[in-house]
């Protein structure tokens, strides 16, 4: 009986240890290149979610057509440390977004490096080049 309990505890421990690493897994930046793009547009949504926040905005291309953009940024708890909050962006606000790392797929998606608000304030995590 004692041996059987030891085996069950051991198997449970092994299964638990196998389960833990995937829960801490995180994607890398393999989907992004190192190109930097700056786009001026109008905020359509500021999605304050974990594990990443998303700034959605519309801009006009060289033909005057509206292009929908998505800027992926860090998680809320990190952004708060740099003064960026759930209230930092308002729908309809003009912004200039610098993204370092654009989607290799060609989608209008990038990793936000810095945002300049219409009043000239800069929001960043201090890592823009």
Each residue of 51-70: pLDDT tens digit?
999 999 999 999 999 999 99
31: enclosing H helix or E strand:
none
The answer as to whether 11 is a domain residue is: no
| Comparison of pLDDT for 16 and 51, the residue scoring more | 51
Q: Note whether 108 and 118 are within 8 A (CB).
A: no
For residues 16 and 8, what is the distance between their CA atoms, to the nearest angstrom?
A: 12
Alpha-carbon separation of residue 24 from 18, 50, 51, 77, 127 (angstroms): 12, 14, 12, 17, 25
* Confidence (pLDDT) at 30: 62
Neighbours of 128 (CB within 10 A): 13
Domain count, the chain: 1
> 112 lies in a domain?
yes
Instruction: Please check whether residue 82 lies inside any domain of the structure.
Output: yes
Q: Is residue 77 part of a domain?
A: yes
pLDDT digits (tens, 9 = 90+) for 68-99: 999 999 999 999 999 999 999 999 999 999 99
Token readout for 50 is 């974990």
The parent domain of residue 67 ranges over 36-124
59 found inside a domain: yes
CATH number at residue 59: 2.40.50.140
Note whether residue 74 is domain-resident: yes
Q: Which two tokens stand for residue 91?
A: 């729908």
Rounded distance between C-alpha atoms, residue 53 and residue 75, angstroms: 6
């Amino acid at each position: 009986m004692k041996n059987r309990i030891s085996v069950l505890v051991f198997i449970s421990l092994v299964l638990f240890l196998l389960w833990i690493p995937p829960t801490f897994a995180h994607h890398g930046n393999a989907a992004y290149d190192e190109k930097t793009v700056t786009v001026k547009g109008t905020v359509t949504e500021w999605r304050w979610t974990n594990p990443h926040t998303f700034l959605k905005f519309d801009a006009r291309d060289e033909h005057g057509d509206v292009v929908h953009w998505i800027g992926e940024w860090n998680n809320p708890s990190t952004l708060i440390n740099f003064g960026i909050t759930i209230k930092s962006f308002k729908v309809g606000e003009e912004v200039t977004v610098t993204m370092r790392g654009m989607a290799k797929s060609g989608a209008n998606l990038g990793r936000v490096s810095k945002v300049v608000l219409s009043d000239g304030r800069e929001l960043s995590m201090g890592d823009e080049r």
